[in-house]
Amino acid sequence: MTAKKKSAEAFFRHPRHFGGPVERAVHRKAALLRLLTYFREERVRLIFLTFVVAAGVAAGVIAPIFQSQAIDAIAEGSYGRLPVILFWMLAACLTYAVMVFFQGRLSARLSQNIIRRLRCDLFGKINTLPLSYIDRHSHGDLMSRMTNDADNIANVISTSLGAMFAGVLTLLGTAVVMLSFSVPLTLLTCLTVVATVLTTKVIAKKMGKYFLERQELLGSLNGMVEEKVTAVRTVKAYAREERIIEEFDQTADKLTKTGIRAESIGSSMGPLMNTISNCSFVIVSAFGAYFALQGWITVGVISAFIIYSKQFTRPINEIAQLYGQIETALAGAERIFTVLDEKSEPEGGEAVPSLAHDVIEFRHVNFSYVPDKRVIDDFNFKIEAGKKIALVGATGSGKTTIVNLLMRFYDIDSGEILLNGRDIREYSLQSLRSIVGIVLQDTVLFSDTIRYNLTYANDKASEEEIRQAAKLANADDFIRHLPQGYDTVLTGAGSSLSEGQRQLLAIARACLARPRILILDEATSNVDTRTEAKIQDAMTRLMQGRTCLIIAHRISTIRDADEIIVMDKGHIAQQGSHDELIKKEGPYKDLYMTQFAGQAS
């Protein structure tokens, strides 16, 4: 696959909507065989669909025979046979219509059942993937596999699968009937088939170039719009509206020109196919009339051949068009299976024992996100039970990484992290994370009620416990002033709330979890000084008897910590209490002077 084509995959691609070029799977056969395993539970419906398609094709092929017989009966003056022939002709047409209806219903049901299982597998897999995988891959790309790629597969199953099978049967059935009527006229009809195939191949080759270019430009335009809308505050703050409108217009103009070329070539396919089809009618009519005059065939056969010539070429055109959709669907299936084959977070392990106090120890811990670029370097530290430990340091010093390693969002390269004397890798992830309450700087809320967001940490909490947690986090007052109080639905994941209010809800959620270990990662960074003081009082009560780890930039939030760890390039630069560190020259005192002595920060 070329670099140009790979770059196009990053954008929103949907051949059904855009008529784009064929995207092919690298391992086509393996993707197809694996996709077919999802059909196992639909065997009965698949067999029934096969029968319906075959019955519909048989009815469609037989109907022109009765038409031919009816015309010959009229020509011969055998009017007594006409009612019976017309009855069977009508029965064949009605059977065809009914079978096509059921084919559509069965294909849709088959498609949705298979895609539902495929999406469930994919969503379940995404939820078990390590955080390292999620961080390395574009969220939009993962969403595209769940939506666009799955839709491509669903479209092929619901429309292309039955159509492909029907097309092959129609070709075979029509060819047999045509040969039985007249071999010479059948061979003449095949000339138009050759012309159709050659024309389709030439046009498809020309279409590919422009459709690929159009999709790349469309992806660029989508990315530009998404980025600029997301960053609308920054755009307005720097008065860059005219500049981005100009950039948008330039890309939109290129897209328009390319789109016109692509659609012009694409739209020529239909008229050309109709022209070739009409040529087939001329050939059948001219040679059929000659054969009839010679007594080789009847007038009814000419009528049937006109229908069969169109019926013979139509499946070829459809199969040629379906080929691209099938290839794209297999490429989408391969992308989905790539995610399903990724290694999940480790399962199993023992449950964390129920203890009154928890001791955490880091022993010679080394870690790097990228090989040979160590972020944590020989980190050694012990957090005694019930102690409040603070981590401070410059951006990129490794503070948040320590939290990621403790939560096992990432696994260490070497060394040990011990919880109550045992390596945390011996515990199950669910058990380990269930005893930890964490409040991050970037608050995550769900588009649901405030009550749901708070009980996300403890769905068995009572009404009284919910309100107590909110009061403890200083959130109860503003919640009660909302239109529906705790039943207020947050739209846009809480976008209508201020950053401070969102963070208060996150703190209340952590309170409700009743964690044995509490982690606060810049938990008060988005609240004002007055609110921060109230939260500090609440946090002091919450942290009583718990092992706590606090990451902060503000000295005011960590002055009462039992011990402060100053991080620098992945290792400990200083450690001690606030009073001890402020008496020493070093990074902590520099940070203190920056914040409290009027120096620019």
Partnered with residue 367 across adjacent β-strands are 376
For residues 541 and 507, give the distance between their C-alpha atoms in angstroms, rounded to a whole number: 13
Which percentage of the chain shows pLDDT scores above 90? 5
**Does 77 score more than 70 pLDDT?**
yes
Query: Residue 460 has what DSSP assignment?
Result: T
Pairing of strands 436-439, 517-521: parallel
Q: What is the mean pLDDT of residues 531-541?
A: 68
Neighbours of 77 (CB within 10 A): 7
Q: Domains of the chain: which residue ranges?
A: 27-181+320-345, 437-514
Taking residues 556-566, report their average pLDDT. Answer: 82
In eight-state DSSP terms, residue 496 is: T
Provide the phi-psi class of 546: left if phi over 0, else alpha when psi is between -120 and 50, else beta. Answer: beta
The arithmetic mean of pLDDT across residues 57-75, rounded, is: 85
pLDDT at 296: 81
Q: How far apart (Å, rounded) are the C-alpha atoms in residues 115 and 111? A: 6
| Radius of gyration of the CA atoms of the chain, in A | 35
What is the DSSP code string of 346-405? PP--BPPP--SS--EEEEEEEE-SBTTB-SEEEEEEEE-TT-EEEEEESTTSSHHHHHHH
- Measured distance CA(545)–CA(357) in Å, rounded: 7
Q: Are 145 and 122 in contact (CB under 8 A)?
A: yes
Given a cut of 70, is residue 506 above it in pLDDT? yes
With cut-offs at 50, 70 and 90, classify the pLDDT of residue 445: confident
Task: Report the pLDDT value the prediction gives residue 310, as an integer from 0 to 100.
Answer: 77
Better-scored residue on pLDDT, 196 or 422: 422
Which of 56-65, 253-262, 316-325, 511-520 bottoms out in mean pLDDT, i.e. has the lowest? Answer: 316-325
Mean pLDDT, residues 161-189 taken together: 84
**Residues ≥6 apart with Cβ < 8 Å to 531:** 474, 500, 504, 524
pLDDT at 288: 80
- Which residue's structure tokens are 């919450």? 542
Please determine, for residue 253, whether its predicted confidence score (pLDDT) is greater than 70: yes
DSSP letters, 286-355, are HHHHHHHHTTSS-HHHHHHHHHHHHHHHHHHHHHHHHHHHHHHHHHHHHHHHHHHTSPPPPP--BPPP--
Strand, helix or coil for residue 500: helix
Strand 376-383 and strand 360-367: the pairing is antiparallel
Name the helix (H) or strand (E) containing 414: strand 414-419
pLDDT in tens, 309-338: 777 777 776 776 677 778 778 888 888 898
Is pLDDT at 600 greater than 50 in this prediction? Answer: no
Q: What token pair was written down for 517?
A: 């270990």
Assign 52 a pLDDT band (cuts: 50, 70, 90). Answer: very high
The span from the CA of 366 to the CA of 378, in Å, is 5
- Give the Cα separation of 408 and 402 in Å (integer): 10
Higher pLDDT, 201 or 477: 477
Name 551's bridge partners: 391, 521
Average pLDDT over residues 484-492: 84
Per residue in 513-523, pLDDT (tens digit) is: 888 888 888 76
Q: So what's the pLDDT on residue 524?
A: 67
Q: How confident is the model at residue 208 (pLDDT cuts 50, 70, 90)?
A: low
Model pLDDT, residue 316: 73
Mean pLDDT of 560-589: 85
Sign of CA dihedral 450, 456, 458, 460: positive
Tens of pLDDT along 96-127?
A: 999 989 988 898 899 899 999 999 999 988 88
CA dist 214 and 208 (Å) reads: 10
pLDDT tens digits, residue range 538-559?
667 667 777 888 887 777 778 7
CATH class of segment(s) 27-181+320-345: mainly alpha
303 pLDDT above the threshold of 50: yes
Under a CB-based contact definition with an 8 Å cutoff, are residues 221 and 337 in contact? no
> What mean pLDDT, rounded, does the chain reach?
80
Mean pLDDT of 56-85: 85
Compute the distance between CA of residue 192 and CA of residue 211 in angstroms, rounded to an integer: 27
> Any idea which fold 437-514 has?
Rossmann fold (3.40.50)
Report the distance separating Cα 196 and Cα 274, nearest Å: 10
State how far the Cα of 299 lies from the Cα of 202, in Å rounded to an integer.
37
Reading the block at residue 97, the tokens are: 């219509």
The conformation of residue 149, written as its DSSP 8-state character, comes to I
- Residue 6, classed as helix, strand or coil, is helix
Which residues have a Cβ under 8 Å from the Cβ of 44 and sit 6 or more positions away?
A: none
Task: Name which of 472, 550, 464 is nearest 509 in CA terms.
Answer: 472
**Cα 481 off chain centre by:** 38
**Does the structure show a pLDDT above 90 at 207?**
no
Greater model confidence, 496 or 157: 157
- The model's pTM is 0.71
Asked if pLDDT for residue 94 goes beyond 90, the answer is yes
516-555 burial by CB neighbour count: b if 16+ within 10 A, else e?
bbbbbbbbbbbbeeebbeebeebbeebbeebbbbbbbbeb
pLDDT digit string (tens) for 31-51?
A: 888 888 888 888 898 899 999
> Looking at residues 434-439, what average pLDDT do you find?
84
**Is the four-CA dihedral 282, 284, 285, 286 of positive or negative sign?**
positive
Dist. CA 64–CA 92, nearest whole Å = 9
Identify the band that residue 215 occupies on the pLDDT scale cut at 50, 70 and 90. Answer: low
More confident residue, 530 or 456: 456
CA 572 – CA 306 distance, rounded (Å) = 87
pLDDT at residue 4 above 70? no
Pull the structure tokens for residue 184: 């010479």
8 A C-beta contact, residue 59 and residue 53: no
Contact between 91 and 55 (Cβ < 8 Å) = no
Determine the straight-line distance between the first and last CA of the chain, rounded to whole angstroms.
Answer: 49
Could you say which DSSP state residue 599 is in?
A: -
Question: What order do you get walking across the sheet with 414-419 strand by strand?
Answer: 376-383, 360-367, 414-419, 422-423
pLDDT of 596: 65
**Rounded CA separation 163/319 (Å):** 8
Asked if the model's pLDDT at residue 497 lies above 70, the reply is yes
Position 137, amino acid: H
Helix axes 161-181, 43-76, angle to 10 degrees: 30
- Over residues 27-31, the mean pLDDT reads 81
Distance CA 313, CA 315 (A): 6
How many H helices and E strands in the chain?
23, 10
